[in-house]
Amino acid sequence: VPLMREALAAMAIAPAAEIPPLAPGDHASIRFVLSLAPGWHVHARRPRQEHLIATIVSLASDLPAALGPVGYPVPAEREVAGDALLVYEEEVAFDVPVVVEEDAAAGGYRLEVRVRCQPCGADRCLAPREVVATATVTITVDAANDAPA
């Protein structure tokens, strides 16, 4: 049980870096990283075996922008209990493409990233979990460009 608690305590998602301010019309990619405890993995977005729980990322936001589709990493192939599995391990990066609307107003907006996955070790899998990160994305508007000529 202590190892399971340790694995769950270590599982978290957060932005990979500070998110720079964006402007109307900007195209950007915001990276989020899912951290897993050493020796633990989650199954890939498209596992080979149908009975395995896929890792799925979903987005929610009030950001005036088009979001996605989410970029998933290439999974590693690992043999576990005689099965060749496609998994994500350690630091798992997900990229969220963002295209800010041309008429976006300045302000701070919420971007929520939810990862539903099933953490597994060498000899057991835990119940599926959901981890959530909420980041603020700032839109700045250049006043010089908005001034009448």
> H or E stretch including 144?
helix 143-146
- The pLDDT of residue 121 is 86
Digit-by-digit pLDDT tens for the chain (149 residues) are: 556 666 666 688 889 999 999 999 999 999 999 999 888 999 999 998 888 999 999 999 999 999 999 999 999 999 877 889 999 999 999 999 999 999 999 999 999 999 999 999 878 888 999 999 999 999 999 855 544 44
Give the span between the Cα atoms of 120 and 12, in whole angstroms: 15
- The pLDDT of residue 81 is 76
- The pLDDT of residue 7 is 64
- The pLDDT of residue 3 is 60
> H or E stretch including 10?
helix 2-10
pTM, two decimals, is: 0.87
- The pLDDT of residue 11 is 83
Sheet of 76-80, strands arranged across: 41-43, 83-89, 76-80
- The pLDDT of residue 39 is 87
- The pLDDT of residue 29 is 96
The number of angstroms, rounded, from the C-alpha of 59 to the middle of its chain's C-alpha atoms is: 9
- The pLDDT of residue 95 is 97
